[in-house]
A and B are shown apart, each in its own frame.
Chain A
Amino acid sequence: MLTREEFNSIAEYALISFSDKESLEMMKDMSEVINFANKVKEAHTDLPTYKSRSISAEELRDDIPGECTPVDLLLSNSGGGEDGFFVIKRRGKNE
């Protein structure tokens, strides 16, 4: 069973918050899935230590620089931005 401490640590990494009720439900669900996933531990494999599945360099596309995406288009889904930048409002300690 996932501990509360583990759960809180994962939620912090995930940048997601949960109410107490949601936490209990989520911990239960996650524990069930982790128990299910534990099945892989039973398995034996003859294969050597896993290596990354790299692909041949010939398969990769050529490095051909293209036009940059226009700034206006990039900002269009974030409310238009400000002076060509994404906006994150600063909050001071006393605000």
Chain B
Amino acid sequence: MSKILYYSNLLKTGKISSSELTKIYLDRIEKLNPKLNAYIRVLPEYALAQASKCDEILSKDKSSSPLTGVPMALKDNLSVVGLHTTCCSKMLENFKSTFTASAVKKLFDKGAVMLGKTNLDEFAMGSYCNTGIFGPARNPYDLEKSPGGSSGGNASAVSAGIAPYTLGTDTGGSTRQPASYCGIVALKPTYGSVSRYGLLTLASSFDQIAPMTSTVTDCAIVYDAICGHDPDDMMTFKRKYEPTYSQLSGEVKRLRIGISDDFLSSSSEETIESVMKAVDFYVSKGAEIVKVKLPHIKYALPIYYILGCAEISSNFGRFDGIRYGYKTSLQYKDIDDMITKTRTEGLGKDIKRRIMLGIYFLSKQNYKEYFQKASMMRNELIRDFSNAFETCDLILSPTSPTSAVSLDFTPETIVEKYYADACVAPANLCGLPALALPCGIGQNGMPIGMQLMGPNFSEGTLLNAGYAFEKECKPELKPSIGVNYDL
């Protein structure tokens, strides 16, 4: 059942006020967050001030948005004016945003109440939410396991019932993979359908702001609120966005669902079993299964890492200790020395590696064979998906090859870590929308997630297909720590 609509109904019928609802959530956070570390900053005064304004609005206007008065949380790489936005990095530990992100502003305009900022991997780079300066977030299903990354704090908070919904960011699967690990829903929108203005950028042609919720219906409501053209992000499309909430019929008869063996081959047996049960469900409802071929998909991860690192190295040139952020307190001999010391002290190991790799791939002697080649291959992959979507309406795959890994998981090689992104990175590479939702339970009680990917602007189709599955087959997941959202 939709949490947002449940709370909205209580608020509009006067059974509870936004201030009371916000206090309930603040109490839950106080009780559970020390174990989960999902929030790195809780803002009770801010939240209650917003809630109080919402109570005034609700007392006069019962037809306001379903988001009015309902609390939420934001990943700490989304700007809110006057508040810290740290990206969980020493580099921005004391940085206060000078403006509010457009997507966040849209939620505030609809009366959303912000409880606080959530944990992430440093600068949103990582898959396990364990590289940030505030310590790792934990998975509510097993506190010794990772909630996924980089939006691990968001996933942990929604899963444990200490945030009704959150906004995360997705550059290479950073909302979908944690959604899979924590048994929640995440929608990475079509690139250009949600403004990136105010998102502290990682890789500009990959980043998207994404809702992370406990149900598909909630995802649709939040997406409808944040999508749309924004003159402050020139990559957003000027088009009519049809509300996806009104497309949730649950009807999937004659829906053509593509399956690619490439996405299944790297997955665990229990993941494949859960995903194939989802396929059986859709077939039983009249959908048609189509085998699709994506000839260049095996190059997706190398392409992603070449182009991603190149964009990161360019974007991170701004961190020089001059205009904002951390600045070294050591003596320095000139400006280059000051900047070098600042960046060496202020940035984490993963960031440094990606910056270094980006410079390598963009260097004069390597540019053609890496960056230019990867850019061409990216276009080939876009063409593969475009061809596939002529024979199917969406592609179904696992979200992550396995269920959540241990917090102290140390892969033997750096590259082994990257394979966790095999199913999710292609959507970012090609700008496609992708919905992640739970589809099964692993042998140790851990959630297993599936992903539905579609052509540009097919969010309505994806959400409807997800809604159909969730209505009848949502797995009975029980986190070991958490509260039910019912009041």
Q: Which residues of A contact B (CB under 8 A)?
A: 2, 6-7, 10-11, 13-18, 26, 29-30, 32-41, 43, 45-47, 49-50, 55, 59-62, 69, 73-74, 76-78, 86, 88, 91
Contacts and interface: CB of A to CB of B under 8 A. Distances in A.
A75 to B, nearest CB: 8
Contacts of B415: 32-33, 35-36
A55 B237 CA distance: 11
Nearest to B325: A77
A37 B354 CA distance: 13
A91 B356 contact: no
B325 A47 contact: no
Given A40-B306, A45-B376, A50-B376, A17 B359 contact: no
Contacts of B340: 15-17
Nearest to B238: A59
B363 A91 contact: no
A49 B25 CA distance: 55
A68 to B, nearest CB: 12
B241 interface: no
Interface of A is mostly: helix
9 contacts: A14-B343, A14-B359, A16-B347, A29-B353, A37-B361, A37-B370, A40-B370, A47-B379, A47-B383
Interface in B359-397: 359-361, 363, 369-370, 372-377, 379-380, 383
Interface stretch (B104-112, B327-335, B443-451): B327-335
A40 B302 contact: yes
A39 B302 contact: yes
B177 interface: no
A45 B380 contact: yes
Contacts of B352: 14, 16, 18, 26
A32 B353 CA distance: 11
B360 A50 contact: no
B418 A36 contact: yes
Nearest to B98: A73
Interface string B287-329: 0000000001011011101100000010000001011110100
Most-contacted residue by chain B among A13, A40, A61, A62 (CB, 10 A)? A40
B359 A77 contact: no
A73 B249 CA distance: 48
Nearest to B370: A37
Contacts of B235: 55
Nearest to B355: A14
B339 interface: yes
B487 interface: no
A55 B235 CA distance: 9
Nearest to A7: B356
A10 B306 contact: no
Contacts of A13: 359, 363
B13 interface: no
Given A14-B359, A43-B373, A78-B323, 16 more contacts: A10-B359, A10-B363, A17-B344, A30-B356, A32-B413, A35-B415, A36-B301, A43-B299, A43-B380, A46-B380, A74-B323, A77-B94, A77-B95, A77-B325, A78-B324, A88-B322
B341 to A, nearest CB: 7
A43 to B, nearest CB: 5
Given A37-B306, A37-B370, A10 B360 contact: yes
B306 A88 contact: no
A15 B339 contact: yes
Nearest to B92: A77
A19 B82 CA distance: 37
Contacts of B42: none
A11 B234 contact: no
Given A34-B360, A37-B370, A88 B98 contact: no
Contacts of A38: 302
B20 to A, nearest CB: 35
Contacts of B94: 77
A17 B302 contact: no
A32 to B, nearest CB: 5
Given A39-B302, A74-B323, A76-B96, A26 B356 contact: yes
Contacts of B331: 91
Given A16-B347, A26-B356, A88 B302 contact: no
A14 B338 contact: no
A6 B364 CA distance: 12
A60 B325 CA distance: 31
B305 A33 contact: yes
Contact of B299 (A10, A39, A59, A76): A39
B376 A37 contact: no
B370 to A, nearest CB: 6
B415 to A, nearest CB: 5
Contacts of B98: 69, 73-74, 76-77
A60 B192 CA distance: 12
